[in-house]
Structure 1
Amino acid sequence: MREFSLPALYEVPSDGNLTDLIGRNAAQHPDAAVMGRKVDGVWTDVTAVQFLAEVRAVAKGLIASGIRPGERVALMSRTRYEWVLLDFAIWSAGAVTVPVYETSSAEQVQWILGDSGTAAVIVESDEHAAAVRSVSDGLTRLRHVWQIDRGDDKGCVAELTAAGAEITEAVVDERSATAKADDPATIVYTSGTTGRPKGCVLTHRAFFAECGNVVERLKPLFRTGECSVLLFLPAAHVFGRLVEVASVMAPIKLGCVPDIKNLTEELAAFRPTLILGVPRVFEKVYNSARAKAQADGKGKIFDRAARTAIDYSRALGSAQGPSLGLRIRHKVFDALVYGKLRAVLGGRGEYAISGGAPLGERLGHFFRGIGFTVLEGYGLTETCAATAFNPWDRQKIGTVGQPLPGSVIRIADDGEVLLHGEHLFTGYWNNEAATVEALADGWFHTGDIGTLDEDGYLAITGRKKEILVTAGGKNVAPAVIEDRIRAHALVAECMVVGDGRPFVGALVTIDEEFLARWAKDHGKPAGSTAATLREDPDLLAAVQQAVDDGNAAVSKAESVRKFRVLQAQFTEDAGHITPSLKLKRGVVAKDFADEIESLYRA
């Protein structure tokens, strides 16, 4: 058993709640731009004083509509300015926010609203409203359904502001002070890779401990008046909430966009200094840049630049540092390649934070080598997002960093990662049995397998429940191989199989966007798809290269012996992945059972 801890850098308030932050910002930084919002397609600043006034106006409407302290108000919307505004308004009314993914099915909506006992729900669109209406008969506690976009100028922000016109400031002051530090701020339902989602109860204290220590440890990334962050992750995900609250706590300017479809344009317009993302985003940036260079006849130059960036980053971690020749090559490629890549990322940023899945050493070194350091972290819904992350000044690529200051990481005898700290959830809503199991002996049992080095840096090697045991008795952690295979530009997703089987196999889906370029470069018919090329020898050879790269990270007994290219994708709509892009292995195994069986036929 091994454990490591760091002293807290932020003193969690003995009482109070998250609404204190927006009041403090208005008092101490009244003219600071704390939010950016799109108005007629143009980014416009929202000052601390303006944001506080808008929050309180909506909170008055919630109070006037009968929302009581401690009641749950659900919020179902894409990431946008109104999400943050409504979240703080719900807290200012003394209520508890229940985020719902905007991609949730009617059945998932029914479960979350029913299990949480939601009194009101705020949806974004007609489609969301229809989903709520379709299950509302069984929701006995639901009294209100408000809508952000209604096709007119009278969305719920204006509606609630008008409804609360007669509520006094004193009433809002009283309501805002209702919740104490140990009261629930939110109930975030897990994505549910197995079974029904569980509601994680996160208190105001948990957010203070989490965000306060993140901001203090990453202080250069959160400089008031200088730094900004663009949030394009789902605000309903706990990682998105970390970004929201940490930005307000610092404070720095926060901009919200609903997805990554137009990310390059949004980055160029908003020009953030900090980006938060998942590994797939950074893989896309790398693969798109490489594909463009190849299309322009500059593929060899890009590959040499990439190798130089990786070598340069690795040398930064050595005692002697980069050699003179390497420094010269790096400077040349900075002018030719790296500067253009940084411009794609907004032009002002030097850092990004990545979570949700392993980033991989290759990408970590590549981005640090081009002057855009991606700090990898690790956390779960139950840990209020990050429970470990790489410090800006002592990054160790290939790990998920050191413990959140003020918390403890312990590795149990069986390799499971155990956690202790004020940032942890207090339990699962309406699920005492699951709470007792997860929070045994005062430690949160993550279900993840990991190791701690002598400096307290954590490496995650797999999930306890996802460990495969082959017919030969070999234990296999799928994530190690999957992450390496998925790094290939042609690969969208990969799932390793082999539990109880004679050898390890894999299901692979193809990135359709990149496939179009690859098909053209390899003389394949126009309009080729994964379905038409899944048996193509050239495509299979390219995927085999990705598999070989994955196999290089493991022993022969753990390596993928056979794979199948699927003609379909793993999608959230089909239930194969969660909104945070985690594989639902049971669903995939069921839906593609025939493909798996084909791997093991003689």
Structure 2
Amino acid sequence: MREFSLPALYEVPSDGNLTDLIRRNAAQHPDVAVVGRKVDGAWQDVTATAFLAEVRAVAKGLMASGIQPGDRIGLMSRTRYEWTLLDFAIWSAGAITVPVYETSSAEQIQWILGDSGAVACLVETPAHETAVASVHDRLPALAHIWQIERDAVARLSAAGAALTDEEVDERSALADADSPATIVYTSGTTGRPKGCVLTHRSFFAEVGNVVERLRPLFRTGESSVLLFLPVAHVLGRLVQIACVMAPIKLGHAPDIKHLTDDLASFRPTLILGVPRVFEKVYNGARATAQADGKGKIFDRAADTAIAYSQALDTAAGPKFGLRLRHKLFDKLVYGKLRAVLGGRATHAISGGAPLGERLGHFYRGIGFTALEGYGLTESCAATAFNPWDRQKIGTVGQPLPGSVVRIADDGEVLLHGEHLFTEYWNNETATAEALSDGWFHTGDLGTLDEDGYLTITGRKKEILVTAGGKNVAPAVIEDRIRAHALIAECMVVGDGRPFIGALLTLDEEFLPRWAAEHGRPADSTAVSLAEDPELLAAVQRAVDDGNAAVSKAESVRKFRILPAQLTEDSGHVTPSLKLKRNVVAKDFAEEIEALYRG
């Protein structure tokens, strides 16, 4: 057993709650822009004073509508300004926010609102309202549905016009640090999603220590974040609250199809993303360079960036020749890549899945450092992350200051600290299984090095045991294969089988480009190219690259390209993009069997 901890950098308030932050900002930084709001295609600053006034106005409307302290309110919307506004308004009315992914099905909506006992739900669009209304008769506690696109903010503000600021602040003060702030339902890779109860204390301990440890990235009046991950996800919520706590300017991007334009116009200094975003930026840039006949230049630039980053970790640092090449490629290639990310960002926070050492070194080498972290809904997002000044690429960093990470004898990662959830809502059995003597059992496997840097090696319940008795952790090879431009998803199989196989899907955005470069029809699909020798050879190279990361017994011997995508709509991945392995295995049982025939 091994464990590591760091002293806390932030003292959690003994009382009070998250609404104290917006009142403090208005008092101490009244004219500082705390939010950037896009209106008619242009960004408009919202000052700390203006934001507090809007929050209070909506909170008055909730109170006037009968919302009581401790009531649960659903919030179903894309990432937009109103999400943050309504979240703080719900807290200011003394209530508890229950996030609902805007992609949720009617059945999922019914479960989350019903299990939490929500008395109201704020939705973004008419489609969302229709989805909630379709299960309204099975939600006896649900008394209100307000729609953002039908002037929910203005209507609530008007409804509460007779109430005073003092009445709102009185209500806001009823919740203390140990009161529930939110119930975030897990993605549910198996079974029903469980509602993680996160208190105001959880967020104070989490966000306070993150901001203090990364303080150079959270400079009031200078720094900014463009949030494009779902705020319904706990990682998006962490960044939202971190921006308010710092405070720094927060922008919202509801549609990632226009992300490049939003990055260019908002120009954030810090970016929050998942590895797939950074993979696509890299793969897209490389494909464009190849199409322009500059593929060899890009590859040399990429190799130089990686070598430069690796040299930064040595005592001697980059040698003169490497520094010279790096300076040349900075003008030819790296500057253009940084411009795609807005031009001002020097750092990113990457979570949700492993970024991989190659991409980690590549991005640091071009002057854009991606700090990997690790966490779960139950740990209020990041429970470990790389510090800005002592990054170890390939790890998920050191424990959150003020918390403890322990590696159990069987390799499971255990967590302890004030940032942890307190219980699963209405589920004592699951709570008792996950929390034991103050330690949360993550179900993840990992190792700690001598400096306390954590490396995640797999999932305890996802370990495959081949017929030959070899234990295989799928995550390592899956993440490596998935990093290839052609691959959208990868799921390793082989439990009880003679060897390891893989189910793959092709990236729908990259496939047409590959087809054009190789003289295939413009309307080529995964089905039409399923037997194409050149495509199969390209996919095999991706598999070979993945195999290079593991032993021969763990390597993929055969693969099958699936005819359909594994998506949230198809029911094969969660809203946070985690594979529902049991569902995939069931729906593609024939493809799995085909791997082992003969």
Same fold (TM over 0.5): yes
Aligned to 1:169: 165
SS of the residue 2:373 aligns to: strand
Deviation at 1:489, TM superposition (A): 0.4
Selected match of 1:285 from 281, 296, 302? 281
Deviation at 1:526, TM superposition (A): 2.1
Partners in 1 of 2:393 and 2:255 — Cα distance? 27
Q: AA paired with 2:18?
A: L
SS of the residue 1:512 aligns to: coil
Partners in 2 of 1:344 and 1:571 — Cα distance? 26
Partners in 2 of 1:484 and 1:73 — Cα distance? 40
Selected match of 1:379 from 375, 398, 413? 375
Long gaps (5+) in structure 1:
none
Partners in 1 of 2:464 and 2:258 — Cα distance? 39
Deviations 1:256-312 (A, max 9, x none): 011311111000000000000000000000000001111111100000000000000
Selected match of 2:523 from 527, 530, 549? 527
Deviations 1:538-581 (A, max 9, x none): 11100100111111111111110000011110010111111111
Q: Are 1:490 and 2:486 an aligned pair?
A: yes
Aligned to 1:185: 181
Deviation at 1:170, TM superposition (A): 1.8
Aligned to 1:349: 345
Deviation at 1:317, TM superposition (A): 0.3
Q: Are 1:107 and 2:107 an aligned pair?
A: yes
Selected match of 1:332 from 324, 328, 331? 328
- The residue correspondences of 1:412-491 to structure 2 (distance < 5 A) are 412-491=408-487
Partners in 1 of 2:350 and 2:340 — Cα distance? 17
Aligned to 1:268: 264
Deviations 1:449-479 (A, max 9, x none): 0000000000000000100011111100000
SS of the residue 2:135 aligns to: helix
Aligned to 2:68: 68
Partners in 1 of 2:431 and 2:238 — Cα distance? 23
Selected match of 2:302 from 303, 306, 310? 306
Long gaps (5+) in structure 2:
none
SS of the residue 2:549 aligns to: coil
Aligned to 2:226: 230
Q: AA paired with 1:201?
A: V
SS of the residue 1:200 aligns to: strand
Partners in 1 of 2:522 and 2:253 — Cα distance? 33
Deviations 1:403-428 (A, max 9, x none): 00000000000000000000000010
Deviation at 1:169, TM superposition (A): 1.6
Partners in 2 of 1:195 and 1:370 — Cα distance? 43
Aligned to 1:14: 14
Deviation at 1:224, TM superposition (A): 0.2
Deviation at 1:232, TM superposition (A): 0.1
Partners in 2 of 1:315 and 1:75 — Cα distance? 47
SS of the residue 2:158 aligns to: helix
Deviations 1:187-216 (A, max 9, x none): 000010100000000000000000000000
Aligned to 2:311: 315
Alignment identity in percent?
Answer: 82
Q: AA paired with 2:306?
A: I
Deviation at 1:442, TM superposition (A): 1.4
Q: AA paired with 1:50?
A: A
Deviations 1:61-107 (A, max 9, x none): 00000000000000000000000000000000000000000000000
Deviations 1:298-334 (A, max 9, x none): 1000000000000000000011111110000000000
Number of aligned residues: 598
Selected match of 1:157 from 153, 156, 159? 153
Partners in 2 of 1:526 and 1:223 — Cα distance? 48
Aligned to 2:132: 132
Q: AA paired with 1:293?
A: A
Deviation at 1:175, TM superposition (A): 0.5
Q: AA paired with 2:507?
A: D
Partners in 1 of 2:40 and 2:337 — Cα distance? 28
Q: AA paired with 1:131?
A: A
Deviation at 1:524, TM superposition (A): 1.1
Deviation at 1:529, TM superposition (A): 1.0
Q: Are 1:32 and 2:28 an aligned pair?
A: no
- The residue correspondences of 1:190-209 to structure 2 (distance < 5 A) are 190-209=186-205
Q: AA paired with 1:287?
A: N
Partners in 1 of 2:74 and 2:586 — Cα distance? 32
1:233–1:259 contact (8 Å) kept in structure 2: no
TM-score (norm 2): 1.00
Q: AA paired with 1:95?
A: A
SS of the residue 2:528 aligns to: helix
Aligned to 1:406: 402
Q: AA paired with 2:92?
A: S
1:391–1:401 contact (8 Å) kept in structure 2: yes
SS of the residue 1:531 aligns to: coil
Q: AA paired with 1:19?
A: T
Partners in 2 of 1:490 and 1:259 — Cα distance? 23
Deviations 1:159-183 (A, max 9, x none): 0000001111221011010100000
SS of the residue 1:460 aligns to: strand
Partners in 1 of 2:103 and 2:509 — Cα distance? 22
Deviations 1:499-535 (A, max 9, x none): 1111100001000111111111111122111111011
- The residue correspondences of 1:481-520 to structure 2 (distance < 5 A) are 481-520=477-516
Partners in 1 of 2:166 and 2:505 — Cα distance? 57
Aligned to 2:94: 94
Q: Are 1:554 and 2:560 an aligned pair?
A: no
Q: AA paired with 1:355?
A: G
